[in-house]
Amino acid sequence: MIEMNNEKNTQISNNKIATNNAERLSHKIIIDGMLVSAISTETIQVINPSNARLIGHVPRCRSKDVDRAVRSSQKAFSHWKKIPARERGKIMMRAANRLEKRRKELETLLSLDTGNAIRTQAIPETASAIELFYMFAGLAGELKGENFPPNMEHVLHYTTRDPIGIVGAIIPWNAPLFLMVAKIAPAIVAGNTVVLKTAEQAPLCVLLFADILQEELPAGVLNVISGYGKEAGEPIVVHPEVRKITFTGSYEVGKEIMAKAAPKLCPVTLELGGKNPNIILSDADLEIAIPGIIDGMRYTRQGQACTAGSRIYIHEKIYDKIIEGVVKKLSELRMGDALDEESDIGAIISEEQLNRTLHYMELAKKSPSVKVLHGGHRPADPKLRDGFFYEPTLMEGIPIESPVCQEEIFGPVACAFSFNDFDSMMQSANDTPFGLSATLWTENLYRALQFVEEIEAGFVQVNQCVAPRANVSYGGLKMSGLGKEYALDSMINHFTQSKTILINRGKLAHNRSC
């Protein structure tokens, strides 16, 4: 009884911390280092995915608010770019320390905002975001050009790495804090200023993160607005003073952004979708492969991850063992309120996204060969009926050409396939417009190296399926995006521009007085 009361008290405490911050941040954006009201008087409701209740409002910003943010960033850039890189790094390090001290606030609001379970998702994501922030702050001293051997007499030949200017950053809702840091930290450390647009489904946790940063950053270095893509995101992309765009989201929107930015020759970094293979060979270590399928599908994030291994290829010799083990582990996962620390799985972000999952499940169940091995329904628990919950789902027998196997669902739905020929399986694994991530489980070094060589993906793992993290260069091939993130190369390649400099020293004139 005492233990149950402690759990209840913890959840009440988590809820109170999160709701207090949601109330304080409602109706606000960040301009010139302060929480202020937007020019636009329209708002967007922010809904708690765990119970579909209103937790706050954010401004529905439009072009006038974008212009206001850009002007602030423009003014700040003239000063920020002149601060020595290592000094910028020190400022960012102090900001990271402030984030660390207020980690509990960030974790709880992240969980309330996204519906992601606090223990399995919000706490690890907050830790990863702060770690990534610290990393980029520490890399400030690596922003340097190159010196070249002279190929002309008396000529000094070198390059510099300089900030680009105003960066427009547009982030999604599935891992908002980590993806926010992936955009803003390298950009700001490199000497740029940023206009960030939050995702309308999960804006408040990002606003809190940015509000904490204002305690150290000069006014205008980071401005934050909210709104819909067409109304607030597009004006950022096309704004003539925004000289770099970085975006994470769907490949349909990514293509639009690239086209909109093209007339001003604006560089674009895109991290887009995936339909990723998770492959288990007959010699795989089942003790790591079975939980690897669960982790790889990101079931504890409701499948809402670009790297989710939603196409599971299992060798026929071990197919039944793998399926049995995965289904057993799925049945042990507890679904519940995101702020309940006993929950393994939270809620899907929104009713719209839940309906997307339901749509694909309807398509799947129309096929007579389909067998649902686990899940396939909304939970029966009456405590969960108001939230956007859906059971972690695993199916077999679905045709590989089905939209369920070809399109990114971004929900907790995976398809299993049996195979006996490696080459045919690899052909199927690559038969997708996406090329984000891929995983292989085997103890056969030859097959592992063949897989690494042949797979068409930018983020490849063997015998593990961890989420991207600090100092791991991450990005996709094909329709999964352009450019890499999360490492030093992303800061240098995407947030600086290079100058090539040739200085002819000439000949020393004879000076009799020397």
Verify that 183 and 326 share a domain, yes or no. no
Of the pLDDT bands very low, low, confident and very high (cuts 50, 70, 90), residue 5 is low
Considering the entire predicted model, what is its pTM? 0.95
Pick from 151, 149, 189, 144: nearest CA to 167: 189
Q: Which two tokens stand for residue 255?
A: 């293509």
Percentage, residues of the chain above pLDDT 70: 97
Is residue 384 domain-resident? yes
Verify that 397 and 425 share a domain, yes or no. yes
Specify which residues 161 forms β-bridges with.
498
Catalytic machinery residues:
271, 306
Verify that 99 and 235 share a domain, yes or no. yes
CA–CA dist 12, 5 (Å, integer): 10
Contact between 229 and 141 (Cβ < 8 Å): no
Contact between 512 and 175 (Cβ < 8 Å): no
Verify that 205 and 282 share a domain, yes or no. no
Is residue 506 domain-resident? no
Is residue 407 domain-resident? yes
Contact between 244 and 168 (Cβ < 8 Å): yes
457-509 residue pLDDT tens: 999 999 999 999 999 999 999 999 999 999 999 999 999 999 999 999 887 64
Of the pLDDT bands very low, low, confident and very high (cuts 50, 70, 90), residue 1 is low
Is residue 435 domain-resident? yes
**195 lies in which domain range?**
2-272+480-499
28-37 residue pLDDT tens: 999 999 999 9
Amino acid at 398: I
Of the pLDDT bands very low, low, confident and very high (cuts 50, 70, 90), residue 7 is low
Is residue 512 domain-resident? no
Q: What is the DSSP letter of 356?
A: H
CATH number at residue 417: 3.40.309.10
Contact between 435 and 477 (Cβ < 8 Å): yes
Contact between 480 and 458 (Cβ < 8 Å): yes
CA–CA dist 22, 176 (Å, integer): 15
68-89 residue pLDDT tens: 999 999 999 999 999 999 999 9
CA–CA dist 190, 88 (Å, integer): 8
Verify that 268 and 315 share a domain, yes or no. no
Verify that 375 and 267 share a domain, yes or no. no
Assess whether pLDDT exceeds 60 at residue 514.
Answer: no
**Domains in the chain: how many in total?**
2
pLDDT at 509: 44
Verify that 266 and 288 share a domain, yes or no. no
Verify that 421 and 492 share a domain, yes or no. no
- Residue for token pair 């992303």: 490
483 sits in the region (left: phi over 0; alpha: psi -120 to 50; else beta) called left
Verify that 219 and 334 share a domain, yes or no. no
φ, ψ (nearest 5 deg) of residue 201: -80, -25
Is residue 469 domain-resident? no
**Helix runs in 102-200, H state only:** 103-114, 123-138, 176-189
Is residue 507 domain-resident? no
Is residue 509 domain-resident? no
Verify that 84 and 192 share a domain, yes or no. yes
